[in-house]
Amino acid sequence: MKKRIAVLGSTGSIGTQALEVISNNPDKFEIEVITAQRNTDLLIDQAFKFRPKHVVITDKQKYSKVKNDLSGLPVKVYAGEDSLKEVVNLASVDMVLTAIVGFAGLFPTISAIKAGKDIALANKETLVVAGELVTRLAHENKVNIYPVDSEHSAIFQCLTGENKNTIEKIYLTASGGPFRGMSYNELKKVTKEQALLHPNWDMGNKITIDSATLMNKGLEVIEAKWLFNIEPAKIEVVVHPQSIIHSIVQFKDGSMKAQMGLPDMRLPIQYALGYPERIKSDFPRFSFSDYPQLTFEKPDLKIFRNIKLAYEALEKGGNVPCILNAANETVVEAFLEDKITFIKIPDIIEATMNKASYIYNPALDDYSESDKEARFIARQLIKS
């Protein structure tokens, strides 16, 4: 039986690569749903190429264009964010790949979990914002969450067959980004164009900036805590510039497992969609002769403070990770619009965390209110 996949965020970096993986394995997968926020041209092209049965454009103002351009296809077109909840409930959907970037991915993912759909999770913010709630709902609805982030996929692969063995430590690897080794004064001069030039990975703008500030790794620490039910003290970030070892698990006997491969997001996407099967691919293969040295170092937490802020948010718990995420999304957007400098990013995030209202045991509605409040505070700080 083919798995019928809904790809939420099909026009983004992960979404486009997911469609490639799915279309390359027509005997195993079928594209049932594709969605986009505003990239109508690419969404329309994808609909003609991949022939899904359902297409969602969440920007209602763009509905007419999508509807008219696809009028010749046997496809149902939806508009608005509420439509995401509708399509993940379709009986014809077996698995939902959540590749919507940021807080916007939370509610569609929760809807899919409540509908009993297995999740291929590329939206780390879902677990950053509401990890306790989301993992509880997944357990209650007997839903599997398969990580798509390369680091969490690596950990997941290392843990296969190790169900009864205690994890002593998880090492999350980080490339270090384009500014590894720079001083504070040097970072004062960096531009968004420089920040968008990641040395190893080809990603969307938001994730690329998060990688440059190392916030991406901080968010991954929080995600790992919930995915693998592990204490934050047992999660350590290590800089590995070559991005060949995607993460490492150390067990109670001291033995370590590492998952390795060339930096290619199609690999973890395919693993999540096809689990437990490893599907044959023609992706480029790693050669040891091309990488005579694999090196490791500690991240500079005085320069790249975002990792430290993520650990603090995780320690405080409640709605603080939600506040951290909202502040980060706001400042990244401001940096890309040339409203703030690179070095102001952690300052504004930290100030927002200190100013926003703390909720010890937030409900789902509280996350929405915390997100709105944190964004408002961050925007005021950006203006000041």
pLDDT tens column, 233-249: 999 999 999 999 999 99
pLDDT tens column, 195-221: 998 777 777 899 899 999 999 999 999
SS3 137: helix
Give yes or no for a contact between 33 and 6, defined as CB atoms under 8 angstroms apart.
yes
Q: What pLDDT band is residue 163 in, cutting at 50, 70 and 90?
A: confident
Give yes or no for a contact between 310 and 235, defined as CB atoms under 8 angstroms apart.
no
Give yes or no for a contact between 238 and 120, defined as CB atoms under 8 angstroms apart.
no
Domains for the chain: give ranges and CATH numbers: 3-143 (3.40.50.720), 164-263+300-383 (1.10.1740.10)
Omega prior to 276 cis, within 30 of 0 = yes
Nearest to 21 by CA among 36, 35, 3: 3
Q: What pLDDT band is residue 92 in, cutting at 50, 70 and 90?
A: very high
Q: How far apart are CA 123 and CA 101, in angstroms?
A: 6
Both tokens of 295, joined, read 């090196």
pLDDT tens column, 301-324: 999 999 999 999 999 999 999 999
Give yes or no for a contact between 97 and 35, defined as CB atoms under 8 angstroms apart.
no
Contacts of 269 (CB under 8 A, 6+ apart): 14, 17, 18, 21, 97, 120, 122, 148
Mean pLDDT of the chain, nearest integer: 96
Give yes or no for a contact between 165 and 259, defined as CB atoms under 8 angstroms apart.
no
